Amino acid sequence: MANFVTAAELLAHLDDAHARTLRLITDLSPDQMLGPRLPIVNPPIWEVGHLAWFNEYWVLRNLDRRTPLMIAADSLYDSSAIAHDRRWDLPLPSVADTLAYLQAVKDTLGQRLRGHGNSVPEKDAYFYLLVIFHQDMHTEAFTYMRQTLGYPAPAGAFAKSMSDGPLPGDLDVPGGRFLLGAAPTRSFVFDNEKWAHPVELAPFRIARAPVTNMEFASFVDDHGYHRREFWDNPGWEWRMQAGMEAPKYWRRNGADWEMRRFDRWTVLAPHAPVMHVNWHEAQAWCRWAERRLPTEAEWEMAAACEVAGGHVDGTRKRRYPWGNEPPTETHANLNGRALTSIDVAALPQGDSAFGCRQMIGNVWEWTASTFEPYPGFSPDPYRDYSEQWFGTRKVLRGGSWATPARLVWNSWRNFYTPDRNDIFAGFRTCAR
């Protein structure tokens, strides 16, 4: 695998991931750092310690066989060995000691990198990127944890009201043969992206933008949550058990819908993408609207492929919908800058070759596909990342407003159980 990353870049990524982590947790009280026992979040204080342990384990201990910086860390923070429910009952260090452990690991990783000059061995670069991206995933998890628990918004400012509006309509994708997955030309890809392999797709029509709050509200107002014909058996069972009558964090205020963002209620933005809906809710809306979710192969073709003479060029794929240059604020709503999603018509510079907008950032997008291995799959060193979840989760693509920009690209596969509505997820659709 080619190595395109320098020590200076890795140091900058380490500093940024560390700063993001602190911004999301250091204002919390000791009680908030423990938090309630819920199946969809970790105790924040445990999660911070887990980050330090993971970074130390895969770089300092794995590459250098160093002695652990915290002797008891394996018994406290190994997520593969410590069941989720036990994490509230462990003899965890204080918040101050936990943050000191995180800082010590970060400083040691930085010192080690500086010893390389600016040329990093390929194996070292892989494990540094693994721990950086893993920390990025957890900073997004800290963000939706704050939303789930109704904690105040992290430092920043909500996006100002935007007049970009809706972006209705479908786009034609001619289908054909293309390579689904990642090519071995980057410093790092996750094991579930390996490797690019040919697939053949029939022509399809895909929405220019994700489904908006206004569009989803029409389904709710049409009693969609109470009409059995729109739900499959698992979806209806989930809806009945959860008692859901509208998306999570929605409530009526007179004639208007409001949505809770962190610890405050705001009027629902009509043209922002619907968010905090799970796969069952997305499927029910599709049946009501006589639409369907795209498969992940259709999603990736629409996001990544070039178009030549009205045909898909399946051999040339973009890293991002707009091309190969990294995301900027004109391409995608990422990095938690806005602290929320924005209107679906915003950021036209981020369009794919077919004209699909916001396929990166704003909200994760559910696909129809079950999370399965690609042909020839073999697990990477962090074996528990993908392999144990195959067949039990649905694939999401594209990232959300809270996703760090360096973490997401066209072939990146996220995966959650179909009942999860706490994450920053929405969906776009295809014509039947």
Tell me the mean pLDDT per 10 residues along the chain, length 432. Answer: 78 98 97 97 98 98 96 97 98 98 98 89 95 98 98 77 83 96 88 97 98 98 98 98 98 96 96 98 98 98 92 89 97 94 97 98 98 98 97 98 98 98 98 97
**Residue at a domain's end among 128, 148, 168:** 148
Sequence-distant (≥ 6) Cβ neighbours of residue 85 within 8 angstroms: 37
In a domain, 362, yes or no: yes
Q: Please count the CA atoms within 13 angstroms of the CA of 375 that sit on its side-chain side.
A: 6
- The answer to whether residues 213 and 143 belong to one domain is no
Query: For position 158, what pLDDT does the model report?
Result: 63
Output the CA angle 285-248-363, nearest 5 degrees.
Answer: 70
- The answer to whether residues 121 and 265 belong to one domain is no
- The answer to whether residues 127 and 252 belong to one domain is no
- The answer to whether residues 174 and 114 belong to one domain is no
Query: For position 159, what pLDDT does the model report?
Result: 58
- Cα 193 to chain center, whole Å? 15
Query: For position 309, what pLDDT does the model report?
Result: 83
- Joined together, the tokens standing for residue 231 give 């739900």
H or E, element range at 55: helix 44-55
Domain CATH for 353: 3.90.1580.10
- The answer to whether residues 326 and 347 belong to one domain is yes
- The answer to whether residues 142 and 164 belong to one domain is no
- Joined together, the tokens standing for residue 362 give 């704003």
Query: For position 345, what pLDDT does the model report?
Result: 97
The residue segments making up the domain with residue 29 are 7-148
Query: For position 1, what pLDDT does the model report?
Result: 46
- The answer to whether residues 130 and 220 belong to one domain is no
- Contact status, residue 211 vs residue 273, Cβ threshold 8 Å: yes
Contacts 24+ apart (CB under 8 A), 326-330: 326/405, 326/406, 327/360, 327/361, 327/405
Domain CATH for 101: 1.20.120.450
- Contact status, residue 214 vs residue 257, Cβ threshold 8 Å: no
Q: pTM (2 decimals)?
A: 0.96
- Contact status, residue 101 vs residue 70, Cβ threshold 8 Å: yes
**Residue at a domain's end among 148, 177, 195:** 148
Structurally, how many domains does the chain consist of? Answer: 2
- The answer to whether residues 83 and 30 belong to one domain is yes
**Residue at a domain's end among 104, 126, 148:** 148
